[in-house]
Amino acid sequence: MVISDLLNYKQKKNMRISIFELEKLKQTKVYRKKIALFNVIFFGLISTLPAQEISILFNKTTFSLFNPSFSGVDGRMLSFNSRSQWAGVEGAPRINSLILHLPRKKNVNLGLAVQNDRVFIENRTFVSLDYNYRLQLNNDRFLYLGIKAGGNFNNIDVNDIDRIYTDYNPALSAVKNYFTPVLGVGFHYRAPNYFFGIGMPTLFQSERFDDTQDWKTSAVDYSYVHFTGGVNLKIQENLSLNPVVVYRSLPNIPNHFIGTADFVYKDRFSIGGGFSNNDNAAVYFSIKTKGGFELGYGYEFTQGEISDAITNPTHEIMIKVPLGKKIQPEKETSNEQENNEK
């Protein structure tokens, strides 16, 4: 299957190909990209898309992409995520991210992130540097304040558009490679058994593409709000349940909600599942060694109306490599108090 088959399916069903019809179908990423490009061809208008896509699978390992206050809080670590959406569909999203967490001082953390996102004719690379500062509110509760700076390097291959539309259109001559700077902020509150935070990965709205002769091709990267929260529910001494919710509010695109929950045994083995409001569901597991190295695999599948057009699953792998001991703020604080008492 190629992406053009998805549009053919909509045409056979007499569904109007537009952003509004797409939203009714829960607006999966490939559809949004495809329709955006059709708008360039037919109307000279490119739609809007968020800079980073939220994944159901292992979303906790990529929190810092959306909220810089999460960088470095679990210690010195390198994490890698590779996501192959709708395996076997030509031009479907392929996302790879590499995140380096670097605690520097007692209350200062740094982070470096690189994410490459390929979908259809667009290849986007996001690079950012994070800084956050920890405020101790009491013995075991902390507030992290973070800032993010970086940018998106976007490469668009319009020559590949003839796979879905062979007639020349002058609007495509206005589509160019471009760079968009990114400045974001965020905070999160952390207690021993729960956390919550709000991030704005892009503070300022940026417009891309240009006017060419009588054609106007434009798109806007809107600022948006990213909310995360989770709890740690202890079931037995070595077994816990960790539900997490993720919510994103973005102008002109339906709000995105994700819910996950995983069982963790002895802080080394985990298995869980999740769902999103765009008709996706997933299951995943991970294994961690005593040294902290962690490997995970997840399987995601579509549901609802879009599953009539796409039956291909999504695969994702996650790797965490510890570069030092894990930081546990509450224990660190207790040790400091004991030293002071001595």
Tokens of 52: 């980073």
Q: Which residues contact residue 257 at a Cβ distance below 8 angstroms, ignoring those fewer than 6 apart?
A: 245, 246, 247, 248, 276, 277
Backbone angles phi, psi at 101, to 5 degrees: -105, 125
pLDDT band at 148 (very low <50, low <70, confident <90, very high): very high
Quick one: pLDDT band at residue 49, thresholds 50, 70, 90? very low
Taking 50 as the threshold, does the pLDDT of residue 73 lie above it? Answer: yes
The CA dihedral of 60, 103, 226, 295, to the nearest 10 degrees, is: -20
Question: For 202-206, 223-227, 246-250, which range has the lowest pLDDT when averaged over its residues?
Answer: 202-206
The H helix count followed by the E strand count for the chain is 5, 19
* Mean pLDDT confidence for 223-242: 94
Say if residues 158 and 135 touch (Cβ distance below 8 Å): no
User: What band does 53 get if pLDDT is binned at 50, 70 and 90?
Assistant: low
* Candidate CATH numbers 1.10.10.10, 2.40.160.40, 3.60.15.10, 3.40.50.300; the one for domain 3-337: 2.40.160.40
**Whether pLDDT at 271 is above 70:** yes
pTM for the complete prediction?
Answer: 0.77
Coil, helix or strand at residue 30: helix
pLDDT band at 306 (very low <50, low <70, confident <90, very high): low
Q: Where are the domains of the chain?
A: 3-337
Residues across the chain: 342
Q: How far apart are CA 230 and CA 67, in angstroms?
A: 15
Give residue 266's pLDDT: 93
For residues 214-228, give the mean pLDDT.
Answer: 71
Tell me the average pLDDT of the chain: 77
Cα(101)–Cα(97) distance, integer angstroms: 13
